[in-house]
Structure 1
């Protein structure tokens, strides 16, 4: 995946494992007419209208259902349907819109589950001692890979079956800590490089290796910056939702 537009955005080529199970029916919001229009290249205004309508319909339907199977299908929508369909429908939506926020929540879950080991480590770096962020996000001070996967599912589940604003605040708190972990790792990497230089051992480290380390540190800082922006998007979405203005 890559990061663009100030938010966590997945690569369009990202693949998802096919378990071999039968494809379930699209859960309400992605009916055949919408899918056909997307495939046929609907105009931008039509896509925008469908994105808002589908996001609102999906959220409303799940909030008012007692069907556990439907809830599970919606939560694992990307896993089962693949990312391309909802990417076409929601990925171009602004972050202060309902489809834009739902898109970011789905991408956050996918990212967390696919990178659970490194994210667990980044959380421990960014949150070495439990703070309010741990309580808000619902994450232990030293989470395991399984804890990260569980948190990913519970944040998205909370958006559909609980208080939408609280789910967004949990997503924001979580993203902030991971971004901080990235920033700390980048700074530590740069500090180690400067220490080696100051000890006059440049000969032991090639120019290419030093350049590679600086490039990696810069990329970590760039990713951290994008994640901090994504966290702000989630918090802004929570405020809009509480004011009845997230559409």
Structure 2
């Protein structure tokens, strides 16, 4: 639970504080306003053209319960309303500063605050997808050098994945940082489904890079044992090295598996968005 203080007149919950902080600190306006016991407008009625309508206010029952703490249903409603409001606010703004502030929402508001609102949302929901996009950007920027190398391993020759993701054949760490911003900003100011497909293609290639690295480690581990046997080396040293490499390879495969699931979430989210069913 975050210790970030709530804004005046807001609920004492950290989740409500996150919404309030986003509104006051990032200048996103009333579309991402704080939650008060009286219940204020928290989301617009539409997400752009031909999008399904959403309630403009929290239900009175939810609003009345804020002062005494939030139940899971209330948090879920806040999660969906805040995601819809944030997306709609940026799409209807012509101020590039608004886009910049939304990009850095995790840094300015805090990952714990955003997590309280969105991290438990289902992957096939708007808040769940936005949470994954924000975490993808954070991960890419924090590990840009390693990710650039994994991309080159997973995509040694440019394929359609490079074209979809918008990545050069041999990206640098600066390219990865720019791509992280481009994917997330594209979700707010461009075609949301295209942004998700770019994210999915990128994650797929990085996952492939991890699997290739894991395979090389496993092969190296086997070679160490064979070499030790052939040269009469210390079997204990060989066994330790083999165990270390196989353990690291297993971790890489586990991470790759998680990334593949995330890529599928992005693909599915893109399909839902195009059908008007990502809410």
What's the TM-score, normalizing by structure 2? 0.76
Higher relative contact order (CA 8 A, sep 6+): 1
2:116 paired with 1:84: no
| 1:48-127 alignment runs, 5 A limit | 48-127=76-155
Deviates more, 1:23-32 or 1:226-235: 23-32
Identify the residue that residue 203 of structure 1 maps to in structure 2: 234
C-alpha spacing 1:218/1:41, structure 2 compared with 1 (3 Å): farther
Identify the residue that residue 42 of structure 1 maps to in structure 2: 70
C-alpha spacing 1:25/1:148, structure 2 compared with 1 (3 Å): closer
**In 1, Cα distance between the equivalents of 2:222 and 2:68?**
55
Point out where structure 1 has 5 or more consecutive residues left out of the alignment: 1-22
Point out where structure 2 has 5 or more consecutive residues left out of the alignment: 1-23, 37-64
Q: Is the 8 A contact 1:165 1:239 kept in 2?
A: yes
- Match for residue 173 of structure 1 among 180, 187, 201: 201
How many pairs are equivalent? 224
Identify the residue that residue 238 of structure 1 maps to in structure 2: 270
**In 1, Cα distance between the equivalents of 2:66 and 2:196?**
28
C-alpha spacing 1:41/1:212, structure 2 compared with 1 (3 Å): farther
User: SS in structure 2 opposite 1:196?
Assistant: helix
User: SS in structure 2 opposite 1:24?
Assistant: helix
Q: C-alpha root-mean-square deviation of aligned residues, in Å?
A: 2.0
Identify the residue that residue 183 of structure 2 maps to in structure 1: 155
What's the TM-score, normalizing by structure 1? 0.85
**In 2, Cα distance between the equivalents of 1:188 and 1:127?**
16
Q: Is the 8 A contact 1:133 1:173 kept in 2?
A: yes
**In 2, Cα distance between the equivalents of 1:38 and 1:108?**
31
Q: Is the 8 A contact 2:193 2:271 kept in 1?
A: yes
C-alpha spacing 1:40/1:193, structure 2 compared with 1 (3 Å): farther
2:33 paired with 1:31: yes
* Deviations 1:177-232 (CA, angstroms, capped at 9, x unpaired): 00000000000000011122223256273433321211110000000000001000
C-alpha spacing 1:38/1:161, structure 2 compared with 1 (3 Å): farther
Identify the residue that residue 9 of structure 1 maps to in structure 2: none
Q: Is the 8 A contact 1:38 1:88 kept in 2?
A: no
**In 2, Cα distance between the equivalents of 1:38 and 1:98?**
23
Q: Is the 8 A contact 1:122 1:181 kept in 2?
A: yes
Q: Which has the larger radius of gyration?
A: 2
C-alpha spacing 1:150/1:80, structure 2 compared with 1 (3 Å): same
Q: Is the 8 A contact 2:32 2:85 kept in 1?
A: no
* Deviations 1:79-100 (CA, angstroms, capped at 9, x unpaired): 1111011100000000000000
- Match for residue 212 of structure 1 among 239, 244, 247: 244
